[in-house]
């Protein structure tokens, strides 16, 4: 075992530090005796209270940590994978994707209320347009105002009556032992998750062979294949596309099954799904192809919708 101490860089939020604990525990179980340290790094997303759509969305919670990694201020970076842009920063790699957590979205509402129990015009806080358009499709007539803050802060805002409810990632509630606050858990067919939701990305510098080799021990191959399909879908659409999109790939038996959603500017939701057969299901290349094929379907739908809208104008 190396005598080196590996410094892990991550955000200082309670959820982020809990995710570091999970990665560290898996790392130590696989590599007994490894020495780890933690460096908390403040990101643009932590410094600003503006909506994510205003400050840029992708990269606002990850770039500062990647900069610290490249500068040698840390050796390993831990992110929620859904925060990473589809194109990685030059010089860093995703060295490991551990086993994925719960991918679903959950409603947090007072007195255990479900979506259908909320009054007409209810204000459901979410910082995600992906969640907002799917909520409005499930329950027309609600409002979906922006909400910012960590998991605890968002729950407090609901409890204080600032919002009638909020939608949060079930994985975050699970990692913080707050699953009892979920009054309704949406199926992946009701609300398609964000790309990479529930998964963690563990990064290293691409020239740090020692760190990369050690991190292979916590890689979960099925999760890696699934998120590569999802990230290929996102990359094909373009990180700056601005449209609400979701994607979720998972193994069903020997097949990799992927479902996606996208919404146009009118809020109309398009859904599609496809699967990669057993002969190709474990191949990253086949997973990427699956994601790109579904992205092509979304682009064709949006192009058809745009043409229809133009003809109706």
138 contacts 190 by C-beta, under 8 angstroms: yes
pLDDT (tens digit per residue) in 86-142:
888 999 999 999 999 999 999 999 999 999 999 999 999 998 999 999 999 999 999
**Quick one: average pLDDT of 9-22?**
94
Residue 312 falls inside a structural domain: no
User: Is 1 in the same domain as 93?
Assistant: yes
Between 18-32, 46-60, 298-312, the lowest mean confidence (pLDDT) is in 46-60
Query: Do both 88 and 164 map to the same domain?
Result: no
Same domain, 123 and 7: no
Determine the average pLDDT of the residues in 41-54.
61
Pair 89, 214 in one domain:
yes
> Above 90 in pLDDT, residue 240?
no
The yes-or-no answer on residue 208 being catalytic is: no
Mean pLDDT computed over every residue of the chain: 90
Q: Are residues 73 and 2 in the same domain?
A: yes
Structural domains in the chain (count) = 3
Q: Count other C-beta atoms under 10 Å from residue 291's C-beta.
A: 30
Q: How confident is the model at residue 42 (pLDDT cuts 50, 70, 90)?
A: confident
Single out the catalytic residue among 37, 75, 83, 264.
83
pLDDT of amino acid 312: 47
Q: Are residues 81 and 93 in the same domain?
A: yes
Would residue 118 count as lying in a domain?
yes
Show the domain range for 136: 105-185
Does residue 79 form part of some domain?
yes
Whether residue 93 sits in one domain with residue 16: yes
Is there a single domain that holds both residue 11 and residue 155? no
Flag whether 135 is in a domain.
yes
Q: Mean pLDDT throughout 157-169?
A: 97
- In the prediction, which pLDDT does 311 show? 43
Please indicate, yes or no, whether residues 38 and 83 belong to a single structural domain of this protein.
yes
Do residues 225 and 173 both lie within one domain? Answer: no
Nearest alpha-carbon partner for 38 in 17, 11, 7, 67: 7
Taking residues 259-277, report their average pLDDT. Answer: 91
3-state secondary structure string, 88-128? CCCCEEEEECCCCCCCCEEEECHHHCCHHHCCCCCEEECCC
The pTM (predicted TM-score) of the whole model is: 0.91
Q: Quick one: 58 and 89 in the same domain?
A: yes
Of the spans 4-13, 174-183, 229-238, 283-292, which averages the highest pLDDT?
174-183
Q: Are residues 112 and 224 in the same domain?
A: no
């Amino acid at each position: 075992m190396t005598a080196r101490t590996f410094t892990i860089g991550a955000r200082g939020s309670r959820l982020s530090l809990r995710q570091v604990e999970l990665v560290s525990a898996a790392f130590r179980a696989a590599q007994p005796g490894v020495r780890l340290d933690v460096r908390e790094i403040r990101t643009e997303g932590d410094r600003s209270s503006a909506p994510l759509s205003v400050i840029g969305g992708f990269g606002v919670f990850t770039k500062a940590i990647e900069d610290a990694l490249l500068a040698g201020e840390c050796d390993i970076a831990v992110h929620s994978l859904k925060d990473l842009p589809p194109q990685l920063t030059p010089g860093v790699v995703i060295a490991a994707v551990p086993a994925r957590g719960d991918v679903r979205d959950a409603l947090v509402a007072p007195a255990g209320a479900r979506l259908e129990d909320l009054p007409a015009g209810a204000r459901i806080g979410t910082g995600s347009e992906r969640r907002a358009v799917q909520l409005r499709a499930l329950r027309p007539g609600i409002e979906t105002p922006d909400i910012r803050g960590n998991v605890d802060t968002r729950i407090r805002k609901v409890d204080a009556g600032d919002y009638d409810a909020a939608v949060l990632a079930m994985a975050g509630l699970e990692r913080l032992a707050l699953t009892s606050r979920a009054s309704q858990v949406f199926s992946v067919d009701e609300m398609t998750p964000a790309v990479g939701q529930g998964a963690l990305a563990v990064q290293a510098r691409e020239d740090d062979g020692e760190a990369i080799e050690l991190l292979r021990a916590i890689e979960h191959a099925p999760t890696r294949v699934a998120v590569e399909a999802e990230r290929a879908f996102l990359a094909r659409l373009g990180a700056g596309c601005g449209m609400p999109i979701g994607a979720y790939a998972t193994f069903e038996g020997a097949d990799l099954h992927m479902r996606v959603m996208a919404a146009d500017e009118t809020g109309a939701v398009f859904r599609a799904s496809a699967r990669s057969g057993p002969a190709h299901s474990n191949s990253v290349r086949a997973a990427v192809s699956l994601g790109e094929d579904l992205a092509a379907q979304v682009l064709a739908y949006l192009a058809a919708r745009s043409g229809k809208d133009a003809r109706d104008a």
